[in-house]
Every structure is written in structure tokens, then in C-alpha cells.
Structure 1
């Protein structure tokens, strides 16, 4: 019915028309699925972005609470350190006064001992002088 050349030409025409139709269908499906996937990805990314923003807000609130708590502890710690430092200064002043009093007491004791020794010597001389007069 058909000769071989016509049959070959018909096969080529059918092949190219199939290629064109297949390319059109492929492009249509790809475009359809690509748009669907792109929309799906955009929806997921926007949902993820909102969840991330909410999480960031929650984390910032928690961080703010922790920061306030740590500042409170740091202020209390600084106050305690200041009180301890004031106590050490008070103890140091008291010990300095005590040391000064001990030194002054030591000097007074030495001077009193020297005076007692002088008085003893005077009494000895006086007794010696009285003994010599009696003889």
C-alpha cells in the first residue's frame, strides 16, 4: 500500500510530531509540578519563617529574664563583696588601734619599770646613806 519512502517519511513525521507533543506535555507537566512545588516550598518556608520568628521572640524573652536574674545576682554579689570589704576595713582599723594601744602600753610599762628602778636605787642610796649616818 505505501512504498518504503513514504512509509519512512510518515515514520519521521510521526516521530517529530510525537517529539513535539511529548515536549509540550513534558513542559506542561514540569511547569505545573514546578509551580506546585515552588508554591509548596514557599508555604513551608513562610511557615518555618513565622515559627522561627516566634521562637526567636520566645528566646529573646527568656534571655531577657535570664539577664535580669543574672544582673540581680551580680548586684547582690557586689553588695556582699562591698559588705565584706567594709568588714575587713573595720577589722583592720580595729587591729591597728589595738596594735597602737599595745605599743603605747608597752612604752608605758617600760617607762614605769624604769621609774621603779630609779626609785629603788634612790631608796637603796637613801638606806645606805642612813646606815652610814647611824654608824
Structure 2
């Protein structure tokens, strides 16, 4: 029996279209096998919602762009999650209409740590020495 993967969290990724990479940030929320969340493209299409499922190490989801200026484009993503659950890769397509292209993503641990550090730096009181002594038991 495949142990349940959990991909909840922030991921950084890239998808390729006609050889050109577009970076994106995805936030996945996983509940059992069900996935939902959102994606922000570093491109003119911008923000999208996602909905899909992760079964074993297989992932599939539909990305739907929110933009109201154009038709709500939906993109189909399929892929595989690595055993350490820290990266995934696969193919995406407009439901088979324009052929298949590659995408990949990895967990955004580094960024989270940076954010945390910024937050901690802001919160640190004046008497840091005192604080450090109390924390080194």
C-alpha cells in the first residue's frame, strides 16, 4: 500500500510553452486525495485556481485562470511526485488540443525560512542577549 503523500504548502515551478519557460508559484491544500489551491504565473495570465487529486505519487489537476478579460482558460496538468515529496514533474496540455509540454515544481522551503527570518527579525526585542540566554537551556 502506497503511503499517502502530502503536498500541502507552497511550491515554485516552471512550465514550458514552445521552448519558453514561465515561472509560477503554487499553493496546494491537500485533503485526503483531493487537491485545491491557487497558482500565480509570472506572466500576463496571472492568477489561477487549481483543483485535482493526488493518488499515490501521481498528481493531476486543472488550472483555471481567473482573469475576466479573456475566456476562462483551463489547463490540464499531470505528473509524478518524487519519493521525498519535495519535487514533481510532468506534462501539461489544453485538454489534448495543442499537444503536451513539460512542467516541474519543487517545495519552496528556502523562501519560507527567509520569510520567517524577516518576521523574527522584526519581532526581536531590544534585550536580545537576555533572550538568547533564556533559550539556551
* TM-score under structure 2 length normalisation: 0.18
Larger RCO: 1 or 2 (CA < 8 Å, sep 6+): 2
Whichever structure has more strand as a proportion of its residues is 2
Kindly name which structure, 1 or 2, has the bigger radius of gyration based on alpha carbons: 1
* TM-score under structure 1 length normalisation: 0.18
